[in-house]
Amino acid sequence: MHLTEIPPAKSPYREDFPIFSSPGNENLVYLDSAATSQKPASVISAVSSFEEEFNSNVHRGIYPLSQKATDAFEASREKFRSFVNAASPEEIVFVRGATEALNIISLSLGLHSLKEGDEVLTTVMEHHSNIVPWQMLSWKGVKVKFAGLDSSGRLDMDDFMEKLSGRTRVVSVSHVSNVLGTVNNIREIGRIAHDNGSLFIVDAAQSVPHMPVDVRQIDCDLMAVSGHKMCAPTGIGVLYGKAELLGRMEPVFGGGEMISEVKQSGSSWAELPYKFEAGTQNISGAIGLGAAVDYLRGIGMEKIEAYDRSLVSYAMERMSEHPDIEIYGPRDPEERSGLISFNLKGVHGHDVAEILGREGVATRSGHHCAQPLMNWLEQPSTTRASFYLYNGRDDVDALMRAIDRVRKVFA
């Protein structure tokens, strides 16, 4: 799809998602996919067929049922590996989500590698899950620095360079902002980080669901992904890491599955990726994630990216005709992903989202777990409409009608 193309009146993918045909939801306008996406029938049936037909624990039994579960579980790992072009399945660790991935990374580095005076450089546009785990290392004397933004909500590279120092051991940046939709030039940021001798970590929670992401092209050392934002169930995500690095990193959760040998005198760790997967994994979630990868790849990530962008272009065009709407983030749809944060002049974001909700339009308002960004915007909150492949022009039009309704209520 070309950029200037307008999205179809109704999404051709909507019927793949049973939620939109479940009683009462036929007219649901779901614009909260940045919080969590809906799930296609193929994912729901992959999960239920595991639970109904071959539920058993993985890697533990040698009976056929357990073998089948293990095969499906490991097939999902391979699907995800191929999806992000990781070098080997050892580099794909199943975790609960992006938050857990970032906490495992910060804990492991904090406990075993970072020293007093070391610095972590992140940005003002991060989700709290890429801020707080780093701040939690303050007991060790690790400092967190924040690169600022320019007036359009892009990363200010001059400020980034100023904050980067010989003490910057870690650069951890989101690929896509969950509030501004800004797509960061992470290849360039990664190159700068590596030239500085820093580890480069990418929070890809908002990018992997919406665009092709190739970890070898980005050359990130570690990356965090949430499955539930990319059509998979909640409670499953991926910590990607270069094998050589994960091999050197220490696990932070101990227990079953992650050991090679346990003796009274001490234990040794299992090989990758199991070293980081203590306890019984979310097997059904991982199988659902594999089905989600199949679904998204069946359509094609380039196509999904272009489709999202056509929705955002159309929505930005409609919104900019409205004199009372202030949009945050880059103006050029080429520089942003599939979401728009906005405020309606003189109306609090919560009032906007509440009335939109009553009109059948699901959006989200508040600080979106990005309070430093809200301070930068000098706004207590914004309303966010976030799009995905099951949205069409009809959903944007419904949003605009509902915004008119808010305006009337607060006239």
Residue 186 and residue 220 in contact, taking contact as beta carbons nearer than 8 Å? yes
Q: How far is the CB of 32 from ligand 7TS (least distance, A)?
A: 8
Q: Site mask, ligand 7TS, residues 330-369, x = CB under 6 A?
A: --------------------------------------xx
DSSP labels for 335-368?
GB-SEEEEEETTS-HHHHHHHHHHTTEE-EEE-T
Q: How far is the CB of 363 from ligand 7TS (least distance, A)?
A: 11
Calpha distance 398→391 (Å, rounded): 11
Window of 47-55, 95-103, 104-112, 402-410 that interacts with ligand 7TS by CB under 6 A = 95-103
Whichever of 205 and 403 has its CB closer to ligand 7TS, that residue is 205
Calpha distance 108→400 (Å, rounded): 46
Whichever of 256 and 380 has its CB closer to ligand 7TS, that residue is 380
Our finding on whether 33 is near ligand 7TS (CB under 6 A) is no
Order of strands across the sheet with 325-328? 325-328, 339-344, 382-386, 364-366
Could you tell me the two tokens for 225? 């992904």
Q: How far is the CB of 78 from ligand 7TS (least distance, A)?
A: 22
Residue 333 sits at the vertex; the CA angle it makes with 332 and 339, to the nearest 5 degrees, is 125
Calpha distance 268→258 (Å, rounded): 9
Catalytic residue among 316, 340, 369, 398: 369
Kindly tell me which residue out of 14, 79, 127, 154 binds ligand 7TS, with binding defined by CB under 6 A: 127
Kindly tell me which residue out of 70, 106, 122, 129 binds ligand 7TS, with binding defined by CB under 6 A: 129
Q: How far is the CB of 75 from ligand 7TS (least distance, A)?
A: 23
- Contacts (CB under 6 A) with ligand 7TS, residues 173-232: 174, 178, 203, 205-206, 226
Residue 266 and residue 201 in contact, taking contact as beta carbons nearer than 8 Å? no
Whichever of 70 and 122 has its CB closer to ligand 7TS, that residue is 122
Order of strands across the sheet with 119-123? 92-95, 237-241, 222-226, 199-203, 168-174, 119-123, 143-147
Whichever of 122 and 178 has its CB closer to ligand 7TS, that residue is 178
What are the φ and ψ backbone dihedral angles of 76, each rounded to 5 degrees?
-65, -40
Catalytic-residue membership of 369: yes
The count of chain residues that interact with ligand 7TS, using the rule CB under 6 A, is 15
Whichever of 35 and 41 has its CB closer to ligand 7TS, that residue is 35
Catalytic machinery residues: 369
